Amino acid sequence: MDRRTRIIALLVTALAIALDQSTKYWALAALGPVGGHVTLPGPVDLTLSFNQSNAFGLTPVIGQATRWFLMTLNFAVAGGLLYVMLAKPLRPLMRFGLALIVAGAIGNGLDRLLIGPVIDFLDSSKIGFVWIFNLADATLDAGIGLMLLDTVLGERRTRATAA
């Protein structure tokens, strides 16, 4: 079972990276010619944005140094977590949470390597979320959510076993 979850986690990682990269290139091709913005019904619009910084713009942009630092950080974190994901005994939720975080880090790292800035295009400002993001960002958040859920459920199991 554990070997199977490792293989499935790797497939989830690869699929998430492929979806992230293909949607970013679609956004470049589709949104560039129309001025970078399309209003849609519902909570999300499409707005092409080039992010030189990291999540929520927290890292000051210092030219190419920021790009290479963040790219290196993306790949280093992905490599370390990939090792943990594949080499350590983990519950499935934790393993899949790590798979999504690895995919998000690699997806944004690839943008920095191949393009320079990270391509963002999902704009949910209509519902008060002021950042524009991409699928890699969403997989990072989902991965963190799965890891938190695993932690909470693991603590409940530990308490139930102890009682």
Where in the sequence numbering do the catalytic residues fall? 120, 137
Runs of H (alpha helix) within the chain: 2-31, 64-87, 92-114, 135-162
For residue 22, count other CB atoms closer than 10 A to its CB: 11
Cα(55)–Cα(129) distance, integer angstroms: 13
- Contacting residues for 108 by C-beta, under 8 A, at least 6 apart: 74, 118, 134, 136, 137
**Vertex 83 angle, CA 79 and 85, to 5°:** 110
Question: Residue 139 corresponds to which tokens in the numbers above?
Answer: 């997989």
